[in-house]
């Protein structure tokens, strides 16, 4: 599971404009549950991401994202 602030790379086979670029995870946008072929309940997570150094954003399924660096958790 990704968290806000994680640095990710969008996989090359994802949406062409974003493919191969670095982005920051803004937040979990949507959680979808489905039954797989074996009859098991599975979850698919979608995240709002913003391209690094821009204001361009898009929602991607977790499978289209590769984690580069986890965000540092601050305990206040």
Domain assignment present for residue 13? The answer is yes
- From residue 13, alpha-carbon distances to 16, 30, 56 in Å are 7, 21, 19
Total domain count, the chain: 1
Residue among 45, 54, 46 nearest 18 (CA): 54
Domain assignment present for residue 73? The answer is no
pTM: 0.84
Task: Determine the Cα–Cα distance for residues 8 and 71; give it in Å rounded to an integer.
Answer: 10
Task: Determine the Cα–Cα distance for residues 41 and 33; give it in Å rounded to an integer.
Answer: 7
pLDDT at 71 (0 to 100): 84
Q: How confident is the model at residue 75 (pLDDT cuts 50, 70, 90)?
A: low
Q: How confident is the model at residue 1 (pLDDT cuts 50, 70, 90)?
A: confident
The mean per-residue pLDDT over the stretch 26-53 comes to 95
**In which domain, by residue range, is 37 found?**
7-68
In this predicted structure, the answer to whether residue 76 has a pLDDT above a threshold of 80 is: no
What are the pLDDT digits (tens) for 49-67? 999 999 999 999 999 999 9
Domain assignment present for residue 74? The answer is no
């Amino acid at each position: 599971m990704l968290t806000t602030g994680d640095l990710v790379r969008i996989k090359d086979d994802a949406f062409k404009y974003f493919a191969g670029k670095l982005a920051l995870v803004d937040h979990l946008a949507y959680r979808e549950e489905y039954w797989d072929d074996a009859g098991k309940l599975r979850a698919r997570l979608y995240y709002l991401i913003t391209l690094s150094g821009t204001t361009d954003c898009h929602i991607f399924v977790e499978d289209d994202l590769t984690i580069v660096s986890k965000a540092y958790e601050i305990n206040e």
